[in-house]
Chains A and B, each alone.
Chain A
Amino acid sequence: RKEVEQDPGPFNVPEGATVAFNCTYSNSASQSFFWYRQDCRKEPKLLMSVYSSGNEDGRFTAQLNRASQYISLLIRDSKLSDSATYLCVVSRGGGKLIFGQGTELSVKP
């Protein structure tokens, strides 16, 4: 079993839709949680950190449930430019990031 698992995708949604990505992690010692975004043939870039209290950045909302070892990302009012692969990332500390396999999102006009 992978340490970080995500919805396989791909998700194909129309512009304006709300889409939710889920992620689970297996190591309860995990300390930090992130969503990264990777455009096709580009490098991953940090989208947002995820906090236990939940956090929002514009149209993006991230939630963390430590008891269930579950992380989510909600994107509201999807734009064409949101099309990318979204990577769930977990850290146990010491700078080592564990990446999920990513969920591909395609937003269509």
Chain B
Amino acid sequence: EEQLVESGGDLVQPGGSLRLSCLASGFTFETYGVHWVRQAPGKGLEYVSGISSHGGSTYYADSVKDRFTVSRDNSKNTLFLQLRSLRTEDTAIYYCVKASRSGFDPWGQGTLVIVSS
């Protein structure tokens, strides 16, 4: 069974930093692009960032460009998202997703990031 498990979410002050991780299992991680999607409380889904199968291409939403950095370690089946200069509007559940020809599937359960003083 394909599975993604996020971790690293926490309460952090505005301006702070955080590193999210996503551990993949049940599929050949190194052959798929993987992405981060977030959902603020009571709001819709927002694409955040993504990375190609071997890390050669990265993608960012304008709202996080120059503040967030996506990376992956294929030897550890793990996706990362480094969050810097955090703002209150970054408060959200951050989901890790696998990209395929059929869209985003599966989704992890998410990890909650709260940015507050």
Does chain A bind chain B? no
